[in-house]
Each structure stands twice: as structure tokens, then as C-alpha cells.
Structure 1
Amino acid sequence: MADEPEVPGFEVPVGLFEDMEDVKAQLAALTTLVKTLAEGASDDPGEASAHDETEAPEEGDEEDEWQFPPFILLLDPPQYDDELRALIEWVEGVLVPGYLAEPSADARWCHLWFEHPVAVARLHACWLAWQELTDPATCGYTGPSVWHRDHLDPCLLQLRGSSGPFAGCTKGEHQVGHRMPGVVPSAWRQIED
């Protein structure tokens, strides 16, 4: 047993392990992306193929390109409705039963949250992050921890706070327009005499 290496007697901070797991997750995601890009590349990247020179991309080819998730508030009605329906399913099926306790003055919630554009935008962003960070293939095993720390907790603090989008909503009473600006500043208006 004299051949065993000597182990140093120091403790590694717990945060260092989390950081290393984050780095591993990012490396795994980048490796997957590189493999995907390499599979789509030609054998000789320095030369353009004859296919590239003679044919213009068709309209259907755009669907094969990487699509980033849409920002929900920029979508038009048919796409917006589909995205909102999926978001409602996630919020009502995962977020509300798993993370939201009874609303109070310090932790507000509106049962008609989908009528508050600020809430829709924040919850949609949180949902997109959840989709990415709960897949161990792309984010490793620390993805859910990162999602809680970086996405869910700040989102809920903003939404449920006393100055959040539900500030005017109480049990049984719902107000959407309470955060809308009142009158346009006078410098922006033409005063007619």
C-alpha cells in the first residue's frame, strides 16, 4: 500500500462542484452542437459544392434551419394562441401545483395570470429555460438546480412581489389595467388652442 498517492488534506468548497457541473453541462451542449454542425458540413469545408453554387435555397429549406424559441409577445395571433395554450398547460400543470402556495399580500398570484402581458412574458421565459435545463442530455444533472436559482426564483420574486403585475389583484378581484401608464406626457402631445 506504499504505492498509493497521498491525498492532500483540504476541503473543496461546495460551490466549486456546482460550477464544475455547469461547465460539464455547457461542454456537453457544445459537443452536441459541434456534432450536429459537423454532420451537416460537406467533406471539404474549404470548397463549396456544386449544389451550393447552382441551386438557391427553396422556401421549404428554411424549416430545416435551427429555430430559436419565439418571444411570446412578438407572435401574431395564431402562433401566440398555440404558444400561450402550451404555456398555460405548463403553468397550471407544473408550476402552480408544485411551487405556488396560497397567495398572500407578500406572495400575490392572479388566477387570470394569462391576461397580464408582463406575467405571460416572464412565465414564458421561465418555461423556455425549464425546457432546456431539465434535459440531462444537454445540461447535465445540475440543470434543474440552475433553473431554480437563475430562472424560477427571480421570476417568482418579480411576479409575486407587491409591485409586480398582480399588485392590484386580490382574492376574487382581478385587475389587468392597474399597471398601464395613464396619460402620455405633455411633451409628447400637441396642445391645441
Structure 2
Amino acid sequence: MASDDAPDFEVPIGLFEDLEDLKAQVAALTTQLNALTDAVGEGEEGGEVVPDEQAAKDDATHEDEWQFPPFILLLDPPEYDDELRALVEWVEGVLVPGYLAEPSADARWCHLWFEHPVAIARLHALWLAWQEQTDPASCGYTGPSIWHRDHLDPCLLQLRGSSGPFAGCTKGEHQVDHRMPGTVPSAWRMGES
């Protein structure tokens, strides 16, 4: 098609991003379908399956299935400690040096972020998304872009905002429970006095 045969309209850039997202999803689904088809085909080739053999195959299948990571705040030691240790390595090794500029009143950060449960929960979710979105086998080449747009930017806005978990922390002061309300006097009790 010659350049003068090109249509005379502009295609929105977002359309190209959506198309790339769809391509990545189709590729991932195709891979999953092929794996499932191969698994079914292997079962048919062996002929009739004895019940004990079927149970062994089912157990092996369950072991090979993807294990979804649990919500970090629901873990108990030592699983919580192991997951937090890995999260600290990622935050301090990737996120802080690569994405966090100098803290300010508009973009707060607490160097003791791991003492803020809300920050731990949000950063753990961000880290899990990073692990998935940076895997070209499952997300294609658009995964990192999607991670930035859909995960990193919203997470940092929530964490570093003026009402986020670091709202009471400054360079010289750290407050873990700064968002917890104190005892609020009751209007009912004031009337009883």
C-alpha cells in the first residue's frame, strides 16, 4: 500500500496499546490451551487409566498448578518473615533507587516503610504485579508498560500522598500509627456530666 493510499484519519495511541495488550493475552491463552490440550492428549494415549494411577496423576497435576501468592498480612511466621525479607530486597534494590526521588511534602516516603502495615500490603501487591508483568512469557513485551500504568503510578500516588501511610513521617521523624484516631469524646457523655 503506497503512502498516498493510507487512510486520512489519525489512530489514537491508546488503540495501539490496547491492541498490544490483546496480542499478549491471546498469546498467553494460546500457550495455556496448548498445555491443556497436550495434557488431555497424553491421558488418551495410555489407554485406560487405573484409579490409583489417576489419583497419582491428579496429585501431580495439583502440585504443578500455579500457586497464587497469599495476601502478605494474612501470613504467619515464618512465611510472613520470608515474604517480607524478599519484599524488602525488592523495594530497597529496585523500587527505591529506580523510582523514588527525594521525599517532599507532596511525595512522602518513610525509610521505615516496613513498619507501616498499609505500606507493606500495597508494596507487596505492587511487587507481585511486577513479577507477573515483567515475565515476557505471560505478558509479552507490553507487560512493563502495563505495570507502570496500572500498578506503579496508582500505588505511589496512594503511598506518597498527603493522606497516605507516611503522612505523619518526615525526614527527622517516624510515626507508625499516626493515622489511628484517638478517643473521640462522645456528645452523649458530655450531656451526662
TM-score band, normalised by shorter chain = 0.7 to 0.9
Instruction: Report the CA distance shift for 1:185/1:48 in structure 2 as closer, same or farther (over 3 A).
Output: farther
What is the CA distance between 1:39 and its match in structure 2?
3.2
Runs of at least 5 residues in structure 2 that lack an aligned partner in the other structure? 187-193
What are the superposed Cα offsets for residues 34-91 of structure 1, whole Å, 9 maximum, x if unpaired?
22333333544xx983246874789887533320122111111111111111111111
Higher RCO, 1 vs 2 (CA within 8 Å, ≥6 residues apart): 1
| Whole-angstrom CA distance in 2 between matches of 1:94 and 1:27 | 30
The residue type paired with residue 118 of structure 1 is V
The aligned runs of 1:4-153 (5 Å cut-off) are 6-41=5-40, 42-44=42-44, 49-51=49-51, 55=55, 62-153=62-153
What are the superposed Cα offsets for residues 5-61 of structure 1, whole Å, 9 maximum, x if unpaired?
9443332211110000000111112122222333333544xx983246874789887
Instruction: Report the CA distance shift for 1:161/1:67 in structure 2 as closer, same or farther (over 3 A).
Output: same
| Whole-angstrom CA distance in 1 between matches of 2:56 and 2:181 | 48
The residue type paired with residue 32 of structure 1 is T
What are the superposed Cα offsets for residues 140-161 of structure 1, whole Å, 9 maximum, x if unpaired?
2111111111000000000000
What is the CA distance between 1:135 and its match in structure 2?
1.6
| Whole-angstrom CA distance in 1 between matches of 2:58 and 2:145 | 42
Structure 1 outlier segments of 4+, above 6 Å: 56-61
Instruction: Report the CA distance shift for 1:54/1:27 in structure 2 as closer, same or farther (over 3 A).
Output: closer
| Whole-angstrom CA distance in 2 between matches of 1:20 and 1:54 | 41
| Whole-angstrom CA distance in 2 between matches of 1:123 and 1:185 | 35
TM-score, with length taken from structure 2: 0.82
Instruction: Report the CA distance shift for 1:29/1:57 in structure 2 as closer, same or farther (over 3 A).
Output: closer
The residue type paired with residue 89 of structure 2 is E
What is the CA distance between 1:111 and its match in structure 2?
0.3
Instruction: Report the CA distance shift for 1:141/1:61 in structure 2 as closer, same or farther (over 3 A).
Output: closer
Name whichever structure is richer in helix by fraction. 2
| Whole-angstrom CA distance in 1 between matches of 2:30 and 2:58 | 29
The residue type paired with residue 144 of structure 2 is P
Runs of at least 5 residues in structure 1 that lack an aligned partner in the other structure? 187-193
- Indicate the SS of the match to 2:110: coil
Please report the RMSD computed on the Cα atoms of aligned residues, expressed in angstroms.
3.2
Report the counterpart of residue 189 of structure 2 in structure 1: none
Count of residue pairs the alignment pairs up: 184
